[in-house]
């Protein structure tokens, strides 16, 4: 009998590395129905099928507007706890801003660049500390 490929098999425990991604996806999917998120978009509405971006003067259609979390769901410093993630993803209306797709993409890219930079910095610090430890032994 052929061995099951764990990558494609079902997630059977919370220890599976794919569990975090699975849970995050489920939370984001359910947040689509969160009233404050919908209310944010209603407040950005300036006419029938027209929305104003919170960062630029653009007026865009419903397919070009996003309800963006002002504070990222996963902080720049990294994942802290599920309870914090849930608080951030299901925040109040004041935790959202309506952004046009180009502004949302720019903001997301900046956040990801900061995350990557911080991750590299942490790796370099760890490498330096390990090197210092080896020298002292």
- DSSP-assigned states of every residue in the chain: -PPPPTTTSPP-STTSTTHHHHHHHHHHHHHTT-HHHHHHHHHHEEETTEEE-SSSS-EE-TTSEEEEESS-SS-TT----HHHHHHHHT--GGGEEEEEHHHHHHHHHHHHHHHHHHHHHHHHHHHHHHHHHHHH-
Backbone angles phi, psi at 74, to 5 degrees: -100, 115
Taking the whole predicted model, whether its pTM rises above 0.95 is answered as: no
pLDDT for res 5: 47
Give pLDDT tens digits for 39-96: 999 999 999 999 999 999 999 999 999 999 999 998 888 888 899 999 999 999 999 9
pLDDT for res 69: 96
**pLDDT-based confidence at 11, cuts 50/70/90?**
confident
Give pLDDT tens digits for 93-123: 999 999 999 999 999 999 999 999 998 888 8
pLDDT for res 2: 45
Give pLDDT tens digits for 20-45: 889 999 999 999 999 999 999 999 99
**Cα–Cα nearest to 49, from 58, 35, 67, 62:** 62
């Amino acid at each position: 009998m052929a061995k099951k490929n764990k990558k494609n098999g079902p997630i059977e425990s919370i220890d599976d590395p794919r569990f975090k991604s699975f849970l995050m996806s489920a939370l984001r999917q359910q947040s689509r129905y969160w009233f404050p998120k919908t209310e944010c978009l209603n407040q950005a509405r300036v006419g029938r099928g027209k929305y104003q971006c919170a960062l630029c003067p653009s007026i865009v259609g419903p397919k070009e507007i996003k309800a963006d979390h002002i504070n990222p769901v996963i902080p720049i410093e990294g994942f802290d706890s599920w309870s914090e993630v849930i608080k951030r993803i299901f925040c109040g209306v004041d935790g959202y801003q309506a952004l046009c797709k180009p502004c949302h993409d720019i903001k997301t890219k900046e956040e990801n660049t900061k995350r990557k930079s911080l991750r590299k910095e942490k790796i370099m610090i760890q490498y330096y500390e390990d090197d210092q430890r080896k020298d002292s032994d």
